């Protein structure tokens, strides 16, 4: 399925709000108002990751430093690869936060 500019824009916006994206594609698609299947959303996520990686590799200077801001164009939708990478790293870390242990019921 080919996604519209609006759908891609909404997908990227929703992607930034959810934790581990690969595990929550159904929720991301629902939040973006997309009726695409999980397989189609996986394909879109894969394209987005590939384009981000290519852009960041292209933006790496000879001395190995990264340019401050790299943007890519995906179906005429422009977005920052740095924002995507930073948000994904931040939200993926949330998956590893242990739950607060439950206190036993105290007698009152």
Residue 57 tokens, joined: 């590799």
Instruction: Give dist(CA 41, CA 24) in Å, integer.
Output: 10
pLDDT in tens, 72-105: 878 888 888 877 777 777 766 665 555 666 666 6
pLDDT score, position 95: 59
pLDDT score, position 87: 76
State the average pLDDT for the chain: 78
- pTM greater than 0.75: no
Q: How far is CA 97 from CA 19, 53, 60, 83, 93, in A?
A: 12, 27, 32, 22, 7
Alpha helices in 1-100, H assignment, sequence order: 5-15, 25-31, 38-58, 81-94
């Amino acid at each position: 399925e080919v996604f519209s500019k609006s759908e891609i824009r909404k997908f990227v916006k929703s992607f930034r709000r959810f934790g581990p994206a690969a595990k929550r594609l159904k929720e991301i698609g629902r939040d973006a108002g997309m009726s695409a299947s999980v397989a189609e959303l996986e394909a879109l996520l894969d394209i987005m990751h590939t384009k981000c990686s290519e852009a960041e590799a292209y933006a790496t200077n000879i001395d190995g430093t990264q340019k401050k801001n790299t943007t890519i164009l995906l179906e005429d939708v422009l977005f920052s690869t740095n924002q995507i990478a930073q948000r994904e790293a931040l939200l993926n870390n949330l998956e590893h936060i242990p739950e607060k242990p439950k206190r036993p019921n105290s007698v009152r």
